Amino acid sequence: QVQLVESGGGSVQAGGSLRLSCVGSGYPYTTYCLAWFRQAAGKEREGVARISVAGAEFYGDSVKGHFSISRDGMDNTVHLQMNNLKAEATAIYYCAAAVTRTCPGSWRLGSRYKYWGQGTQVTVSS
């Protein structure tokens, strides 16, 4: 049974930082493309960042320079470091895994990912 479990969400003031983590189990984690998505209330799900097995990173335009994705094969974890947070970052954040070593070209499409976590709430107050 494949499972992804996010943690690290919470409330923070604008300008603050949070570090999200997602622990995977039940599959060869180190061979999957991993990504973070978010969905704000009333908005569509948005691809935030992705990282391939080789460590190649890519970010959505709205988070470039402020967010950083990383993965740790030793403990099957992918992290999302979020700095200088703004109110518009408020959303539920989900980690996702695609059954491919390299990430799909259309990595922002949720349909490209087979496994999803349950999400963790991030709230940024201005």
Q: Tens of pLDDT along 70-105? A: 998 777 899 999 999 999 999 999 999 998 888 988
pLDDT at 59: 97
- Average confidence (pLDDT) over 11-23: 97
Q: Are 91 and 48 in contact (CB under 8 A)?
A: no
- State yes or no: pLDDT of 22 exceeds 90: yes
Beta strands in the chain (DSSP E): 3-7, 10-13, 18-25, 33-39, 46-51, 57-59, 67-72, 77-82, 91-98, 115-116, 120-125
